[in-house]
Structure 1
Amino acid sequence: MLTETTTHEDEPRPSTAPVAAEAREQFASSPRGAQLARRRALRWMEEWGHPPASDASCAVALVVGELAANAVRHGRVPGRDFFLRLILDEVAGLVRVEVADAASTKRPPTSTPTALPEGESGRGLLLVEALAVRWGWAPRHPMGKTVWAEVSTRTPPHL
């Protein structure tokens, strides 16, 4: 597996805010790969100052777990891995989670289901919707797609 954790301040980004940190790694498109991706995300969050038990780390780990599981289950192409990237934007108080797979034809639904499905699967995007500030997907060139979610690193106010 190729691992790269870097800190960037001058690299161009879609947003105008500077990126505090970025980490990326490629994983086998298997249940074990999805599990390793979730663990790696927790480690990166800890390196960036968010302990594993913090709200931000737990939310990121759950989102990574769901998106990686979807990539393995619905986006698997034999012989192709999936790719995880986390980007920390301290100014905006966000971590952007990106999971890219090689399946171009299997895309996430355009909207999240409003009720829980009766089956044992199908709840992952409901969880992502609940934990993320926003989420979506984009085609990946030359093949595949990237599903992304932005998770707040700020502690929500207590009610």
Structure 2
Amino acid sequence: MSLAISARTELVREGRRWVTAQAVRCGASPAALATITLLSSELVANAVLHGPADGAIVVRARAAGPVFRVEVDDDGHASPRVRHAAPGDAGGRGMFLVDARAARWGCYQRSPSGKTVWFEARM
């Protein structure tokens, strides 16, 4: 299943809610649901912040056995990187959280443009 949204800050919540609803439908445990909700919010927020202002974002979510996978497409080209933000920094923790909490995550470039960032969490 997928959800297409515009790259607007106010739509991050819509992406997060949609992924959470899919995870609930697939039977995610409460602990998995917390992780899936947090990490999907971070990926959608990153797509909004680092992709083109007029870009489109596509969010996909699916379960395969005990694993729940979320993929976020955007029109940006830069691959995400894990940063280690200083205590006073206002941001820069999104991919750090993804790296710390996801079972696996990655990024691949799409042709002709854009990228997909994904994570997997145990259900």
One fold, TM greater than 0.5? yes
RMSD: 1.4
Q: How many angstroms apart in 1 are the aligned matches of 2:85 and 2:15?
A: 26
1:89-116 per-position Cα deviation (integer Å, ceiling 9, x unaligned): 11xx111111110012x2212xx23x43
**Equivalent residue runs for 1:49-60 within 5 Å:** 49-50=27-28, 54-60=30-36
Partner residue in 2 for 1:83: 58
Q: Which amino acid aligns with 1:116?
A: A
User: What SS does structure 1 have at the residue aligned with 2:39?
Assistant: helix
Q: Greater share of helix residues, 1 or 2?
A: 2
CA apart distance, 1:76: 2.6
**Equivalent residue runs for 1:7-46 within 5 Å:** 23-46=1-24
1:132 aligns with 2:71: no
More relative contact order, 1 or 2 (CA 8 Å, 6+ apart): 2
CA apart distance, 1:77: 4.3
Q: How many angstroms apart in 2 are the aligned matches of 1:86 and 1:94?
A: 11
1:36-94 per-position Cα deviation (integer Å, ceiling 9, x unaligned): 0000111111111236xx1111111111100000000001342x21010112011xx11
Partner residue in 1 for 2:85: 116
Q: How many angstroms apart in 2 are the aligned matches of 1:142 and 1:30?
A: 23
Give the count of matched residue pairs: 122
Which 4+ stretches in 1 moved above 2 angstroms? Answer: 115-118
Q: How many angstroms apart in 2 are the aligned matches of 1:131 and 1:66?
A: 12
Q: Which amino acid aligns with 1:134?
A: R
Q: Which amino acid aligns with 1:70?
A: N
**Conserved? CA contact 1:96–1:150, under 8 Å:** yes
Which runs of no fewer than 5 residues in structure 1 stay unpaired?
1-22, 154-159
Q: How many angstroms apart in 1 are the aligned matches of 2:64 and 2:34?
A: 17
Q: How many angstroms apart in 2 are the aligned matches of 1:88 and 1:138?
A: 20
Identity of aligned residues (%): 31
**Equivalent residue runs for 1:137-152 within 5 Å:** 137-152=107-122
User: What SS does structure 1 have at the residue aligned with 2:113?
Assistant: coil
